Amino acid sequence: MFSRREFIGTSGVLLAGASVPEWADAFQPSVTGDAVRAEVAEAALARAAQLGAAYADIRINRYRRESIATREQQVQSVSRSNSYGFGVRVLVNGAWGFAAANQVEPGAARAAAQQAVAIATASAPLATRKVVLAGADKVVTTWTSAFRRDPFEVPLETKIAFLLKLNQTALVPGVSFVSSQVLFADEQKYFASSEGSRITQRLVRTYPQFTTTAADRATGDFQTRGVVDRAKLLGYEYLEDYPWLADAEKAGHEVVEKLKSKPVSSGRYDIVVDPSQLFLAIHESVGHSTELDRALGYEANMAGTSFLKSTDAGTVRFGSNIVNLVGDRTQPGGLATTGYDDEGVKADRWHIVRDGMFVDWQTTRELAPLVGQAKSHGCLHSDSWASVPFPRMPNVSLQPAATEVTLDNLFADIKRGLFIEGRGVSSIDQQRYNFQFGGAVIREIRDGKLGAMVKDAAYQSRTPDFWASCDGVGGPATYQLWGTSADGKGEPGQTNAVSHGCPPARFRNITILNTAAV
Amino acid sequence: MLTRDDALKICEVVLAHAKAAGADDAQVSLNSSVESHARFADNRITTSGRAEDLDVTATVWVNRRRGSSTGNLSGVAALQQLAGDATQIARVSPVQREYIQTLGPLEYSADRGFAAASADVDVTARAKALDGVLATCRAAKVTAAGFHSARGLATAAATANGNRRFFQNSRAELSVTARTADGTGSGYFSGDHFDVARLDAQHIAEQAVGKAVRSRRPLPIEPGNYPVILEPQAVSDLIGFFTGAFDARTAEEGRSAFSAKDGKTHRGEAMFSERLNLYSDPMHPELPATPATDEGIPASRLSLVENGVIKNLRYSRYWAQEKQQAPTPGPVNYILESTGAPASMDAMITSMKRGLMISRFWYVRVVDPRTLVLTGLTRDGLWWVENGQIKNPVRNLRFNQSVLAMLAPWNVEAIGPAQRLAPYMVPALKLSSFTFTSTSDAI
């Protein structure tokens, strides 16, 4: 928080020359920076212990972001932001307390620890089941996500030129508007716990996205084609290595074709879902239903519960026996990939669904003992130093077939079907049963061959039925990683970036709606 | 939370540094917040916390080139860096074609939506209130989950052309979900106010419990078109998609639900029930809002729908200049209400021959932006009404329904009194038809 003393002492004085900004200094690798964080952490942990906390931890995090937004051939905005602060979490009499502030200095850390203890103490009589944490290793280490080119070192002109070229390429005849954005995020995190862990991490993500629009002014009709889910845990090299311009041109042609396409006929179809859409179906129907906190009712007031009960692991069939889904916080490029979670547990990879059977949950140190597990899978996360860390989804990915199954192989025996690509509307109930998903581009499949584009289509199913109807998944060469950059959960609401890898997959006899005819 | 003097001093320092760095024009905006919350689930507190933060954004122009930088530190070196960073971005950015000079001095009404108690919650008093909520739920043998939150926010802005403004607001809310032990019933109720002292925790808990108990053991129902009564919560779950369409630029660019043929818009058309008004009013006694738009235009009452006719669309400063209009003094909140005497909930139920009563919607998304067809599901209370009486709970349903058609002249049968569910004041609505397309097993 703003220091009145500091401000009054300097207001009205313009400092001459360049000074080292606080934020730039804060996380530079230096003995001083490490020492400051260590001192702040020790102050908070010592105060918490002194006041009777059985456990305490602190996250001292800095978030640096840069975003550029354009439309057609103009730049709408270029913005940078920095946020630096800490959050202290304590356990007192089996109840959590949390306090956060933006002054990273020992006095503020002690005050926050005291506030957190006071909050926990006030809550403890109402915490009728006491929190017990699964064991965790003491870890002292540093971890950095894999990237080759720091986006914050790339000249702004280069980034703007990339977006304007992309827009120009997407503006094929018939396209009325194109908008594009790129966001770069740099998370620098320091974690310390009363159990002795001290972990410094840095994660760099690149979020490019664009949308084309075709509008027919005479009829008032319009269509859009968004490519918005390609963010990855990578640096600027992601914008240089991937053929974005080819995607942009394709999105331009697709939106023009979409405006002229015929509406879908409602009914039952066999569908093949491309990774660019299937990732979202996995996210909503598998990712959220296998969060243990939901099954235990922790999210009942907002995100909801789950159709799975906390006793279901190992006993309930989730899908057909070719369905294998893993939770994976180690997946290269994955938005939820990390070295250690926000309570210092090493990133894990584990089966959630094996051969169609639901076998395991997403867990944290608090949740794991509630299903008889000694170790957390490492799913604790907070979206800011100011947010209470809580269970968040790891990358959850569908495993490809062992052999090389191509997209054409999946189409081959379909008489009447649809091939669904990209993000459309998505909606699912609070226990993750009934869902309705659209697509950005949907084409007919006739007698095993891809046909014309159709519009106004959405597929609707029930999670267990949908995954039971899966009778084909693509091979390793068809596997792609897509991701959502702002998955909401919790109160106060927090966002999480998470990826889902998958091959295209085939589902039989699925209900298709014509959404323009309802 | 910062005081007016401290907040504006920070803005002045950033402005001065921006000028020294060579900016031709600049705006500084600042948010200073304190937020406290407690979550509960499984009839016990799960997490609770408090966070203070500050963000300061410098937006500057150099030769019509724009740069923006945000930080959360208030030391003078950080503020200088902020201004310098924004100026550096501006220097290497292309000319902003949509640049419009920052505002000069303007008069603003005093804000009315702030209570100091909401910004500095007494955690012991909160624990006592939540203890009452949990006791009510335990006594009814239901499992409670919920959220208590209170937040104070100070916002300030200053421009190189002399605009200065400072506002405070607060919001406290409590929501409770009660679920029955057999897993077949669930009820939700929430309340909010700018003053935490005005939250009636006991009333909120009792409403949630009542809905849970009355929604137990729902009977199957076929999807289809049904007459419906939407409780205010259900209306508030949909209305944001409607209010979001009142943007002049997207309508005039031919890509919104209010775009019409031949490049025109539906402004001036009687698209909705003549008994409906929709407007924004920062001075509304139940729902006071910041008396300035995000762009700093002084806010005043703004009619969006009057007697069912689209009266105004929102013009930003840039788009207003393009179209030689005045920027609209809002919206800063949304009040949907009946033009005449509102109908009571009892009157709506007794006048219904057969249909559904809906507590709440969930996971609502736009299926078709051209017609504002939305999809989503009912949740936490859905009942079958027959011959003027609530007969029995029914299973949840998925809907696909245009919100434009929902409010059409032929579809609105009755309108209740508007209730606060910030940022809206919304009534219960009795509608002739609502389209459900599939059933859901979810409770």
Which three-class secondary structure state does DSSP give residue A111? helix
A157 contacts in B (CB within 8 Å)? 92
A377 φ/ψ sector (left φ>0, alpha ψ -120 to 50, else beta): alpha
Note the pLDDT of residue A404. 96
Torsions phi, psi for A207 (to 5 deg): -120, 90
B419 reaches A (C-beta below 8 A) = no
User: Does B283 lie in the same domain as B254?
Assistant: yes
Beta bridge partners of A411: none
| Partner residue facing B70 (CB), from A79, A301, A516 | A79
User: Does B251 lie in the same domain as B158?
Assistant: no
Note the pLDDT of residue A32. 61
Could you say which residues from 227 to 286 on chain A have a Cβ atom under 8 Å away from some Cβ of chain B? none
pLDDT digits (tens, 9 = 90+) for A226-250: 999 999 999 999 999 999 999 999 9
User: Does B351 lie in the same domain as B420?
Assistant: yes
Note the pLDDT of residue A16. 31
User: Does B176 lie in the same domain as B143?
Assistant: yes
User: Does B252 lie in the same domain as B290?
Assistant: yes
Closest by CA to B77, choosing from A26, A475, A177, is A26
Using alpha carbons, list the distances in angstroms from residue B182 to A1, B143, B185, B215, B217. 47, 10, 8, 12, 9
Note the pLDDT of residue A33. 72
Note the pLDDT of residue A518. 78
User: Does B258 lie in the same domain as B189?
Assistant: no
* CATH code (residue B187): 3.30.2290.10
Q: A297 to chain B, minimum CA–CA distance in Å?
A: 6
User: Does B261 lie in the same domain as B202?
Assistant: no
Neighbours of A16 (CB within 10 A): 8
Q: B329 to chain A, minimum CA–CA distance in Å?
A: 23
Tell me which DSSP letter residue B348 carries: H
A213 contacts in B (CB within 8 Å)? 255
Q: How confident is the model at residue A8 (pLDDT cuts 50, 70, 90)?
A: very low
Tell me which DSSP letter residue A284 carries: I
Note the pLDDT of residue A22. 40
User: Does B226 lie in the same domain as B204?
Assistant: no
User: Does B175 lie in the same domain as B240?
Assistant: no
User: Does B257 lie in the same domain as B131?
Assistant: no
| N-to-C CA span, chain A | 52
Note the pLDDT of residue A3. 34
Beta bridge partners of B368: B373
In chain B, the residue whose alpha carbon lies closest to the alpha carbon of A76 is: B96
User: Does B225 lie in the same domain as B196?
Assistant: no
- The domain boundary, picked from B186, B213, B240, lies at B213
- The domain boundary, picked from B182, B213, B244, lies at B213
pLDDT digits (tens, 9 = 90+) for A470-506: 999 999 999 999 999 889 999 999 999 999 999 999 9
Note the pLDDT of residue B78. 94
How much is the ipTM here?
A: 0.92
- The domain boundary, picked from B213, B234, B251, lies at B213
Mean pLDDT of chain A: 93
Q: A457 to chain B, minimum CA–CA distance in Å?
A: 10
Judged against a pLDDT cut of 80, whether residue A4 lies above it is answered with no
Q: Which of B255, B360, B378, B436 to mutate to test the interface with A (most CBs of A within 10 A)?
A: B255
A387-A389-A395 Cα angle (round to 5): 115
| Token couple for B377 | 């599901």
Q: B280 to chain A, minimum CA–CA distance in Å?
A: 26
With CB atoms and an 8 Å threshold, state whether B124 touches A122.
Answer: yes
Domain of B159, in residue numbers: 4-213
By residue count, chain B amounts to 443
A20 contacts in B (CB within 8 Å)? 77
Q: A302 to chain B, minimum CA–CA distance in Å?
A: 8
**What is the pTM (predicted TM-score) of this model?**
0.93
Helix (H) or strand (E) holding B272, with range, is: none
Q: Give the integer Cα–Cα distance in Å for B415 and B437.
A: 25
All residue ranges of chain B with pLDDT < 50 are: none
Q: Which long-range contacts (CB under 8 A, 24 or more apart) does A423-426 make?
A: A423/A226, A423/A228, A423/A229, A423/A276, A423/A277, A423/A280, A424/A277, A424/A458, A425/A458, A425/A515, A425/B365, A425/B366, A425/B367, A425/B375, A426/A280, A426/A281, A426/A284, A426/B365
Mean pLDDT, rounded, for A118-144: 94
Torsions phi, psi for A87 (to 5 deg): -130, 130
User: Does B395 lie in the same domain as B248?
Assistant: yes
A159-A162-A168 Cα angle (round to 5): 145
What total number of domains does chain B contain?
2
Could you say which residues from 19 to 78 on chain B have a Cβ atom under 8 Å away from some Cβ of chain A? 20, 32, 35, 37-55, 57, 66-78
Q: Give the integer Cα–Cα distance in Å for A55 and B330.
A: 49
Q: What percent of chain A has pLDDT over 70?
A: 94
Q: Is the Cα torsion angle B131, B133, B138, B142 positive or negative in sign?
A: negative
Note the pLDDT of residue A34. 78
| Partner residue facing A6 (CB), from B75, B127, B401 | B75
